[in-house]
Every structure is written in C-alpha cells, then in structure tokens.
Amino acid sequence: MIFEITLIAVIALSIIMIGWLAVRKLPQIRVVDPGSSKEAKTKELKYAILKQRVERLGGEHLAGLQRDVFKPLGGKIQDSFRRVAGKLTAIERRYADRQKSGITVAHNPEILRGLIRESETLIDEGHYDAAEKKLIEVVSHDPKNIPAYEHLGRLYLLNKDYPGARETFNFLLRLSPKDASVCASLGEVAEAEGKLDEALASYKLALDISPNNPKYLDFYIDTAITTGDVHAATSSLDHLREVNPDNAKIADFEARIAELRTKKKSG
C-alpha cells in the first residue's frame, strides 16, 4: 500500500514539474529575425501570448503546486493540477481554431480592423477581458499589427496590469522604434509604477522624436516638477509656450515651478 501511494506521488509530482517547466520555458515576446518564416513568427507570438495568458490564469495555481511539492499527495494537488491543465488545453484549442481560419482572416484587413473597432467599444464600456480576446485574435493572425498592440498596451494600462502593459509597449517599440507615442506610453507605465526617473526618460525620448507635441511636453513638465528638476521643467515650459500658447496647464505649471524654486531655496 505504501509503495503504491509513493509511486502515485512520484508520477503526479513529475507531471506537475513538467507542466511548471513548460510554462517557464514559454519564450518572451520579441521580434524575430526578419529572414525567418511567417510561420515561425506566428508560432513565437502564439507562445508569447500563451505565456501571458497562462501566467495570468494559472500562475497562482502553479505557484501553489510548487509550494506543495513535498506535501503528501491529496485532493488539493490533484484538483489544482486539473484546473491548470484544463486552462492550458482550452487556450491551445482556441489558438488551433484560429489557425484553421487564419488564411481568410489574415488576408482580409477589414476583418482585422473590425475586430479592433469592436475592442475599442468594449474598452470604452469597461469590458477589458472581452476586448483583450478581440485584440489577441488580431495579433494571432497578424503578428505585426501595430494598432492592435497599441490597444492591448492601453488596455493593460487601464486595467493596472503594468507588467503586461510594459511588455506590450516594449515589444511594440521594437516593431516601431521611432514611435513617439509608444515612448510616451512607456513613460505612463513607469509613472503609474512610481518609477518617476524612468518615466521622465521615456517622455524625453518621446520629445526627441516629436519635440513640438503639447501632450508629451505636458507629461515631461509635470514629471520634471514632481522629480524636482527645475531646469528641465522650466526649459520645457518655455517651449510649450511657443508651440501651444493657449495650453490651459501653463499657469498651473508656472505656479508649481515657482513653488519648487522656493522650496529649494529654503531647503
């Protein structure tokens, strides 16, 4: 009896560890070599998205399983493993179904644009999970669809999924390295995470690409004031006055900079 229980435990733990290693080995989102095949790109992206979904849906269960590795075999481990395995299977099945219809959708841009429009409506209505499914469907058929990635990143930012937003915008930046909007979006992510120096650097990159954009100037000045960089805030405010003299935030920025100068003098 003891031998049978031990054997079952060893088999179950082996399956669990294989599942854990499989999730750990799913590749990070990255731009593949331009010379690689379209099939390879799609496969890489598929696993990158799977990784995000598995970690979000099943990561906690897998972490729990790892903690329970040396506990006696019981219903908790079996149930947890079944739940995770079920989710993995469902995700794979969904992607397999998309691949079957991939040729039709991928070669019909209007269908992809329609899915993006649907996602925009869902985001406006606060249905983030449903919107994410639409956008993932787009990128699973068109791995370089920049608008879909932009919407995904904004969705994750709105949903306070900052790691997901950062990963998506970083990937998008590699697809479109001169995109000021993506740089600014990475600044918003960093700012939301409380990483103000990093946010300031990202906003500066956005301004390097699009120096007269009032929105990026607003972001940069606001963050420069918050970090106490009087010089950066002042010079950028002067530029904002030139390119957007009617900007409603100018008076507020002037008052905040003056207050910052007073604090620095008294300090």
The alpha-carbon radius of gyration of the chain (Å, integer) is: 24
Q: Which residue's entry shows tokens 């989710």?
A: 87
In CATH, what is the architecture of 178-267?
A: Alpha Horseshoe (1.25)
Domains 106-163 and 178-267 share a fold: yes
Residues sharing a CB contact under 8 Å with residue 115, sequence separation 6 or more, in sequence order:
134, 135, 137, 138
**Domain coordinates of the chain in residue numbers?**
1-100, 106-163, 178-267
Decide which of 1.10.20, 1.25.40, 1.10.10, 3.30.1240 is the CATH code for 106-163: 1.25.40
CB-based burial of residue 33 (10 Å sphere; 0-12 exposed, 13-18 middle, 19+ buried)? exposed
What is the overall mean pLDDT for the chain? 75
CA dist 11 and 240 (Å) reads: 66
Per-residue pLDDT in tens (0 to 9) along the chain, 267 residues: 544 444 455 455 555 555 544 444 444 333 333 334 444 444 455 445 545 544 444 444 334 434 433 344 445 444 434 444 454 455 455 555 655 554 455 568 889 999 999 999 999 999 999 999 999 988 888 888 999 999 999 999 999 999 999 999 999 999 889 999 999 999 999 999 999 999 999 999 999 999 999 999 999 999 999 999 999 999 999 999 999 999 999 999 999 999 999 988 886
Tell me the pTM: 0.64
Q: Which residue's entry shows tokens 């995770």?
A: 84
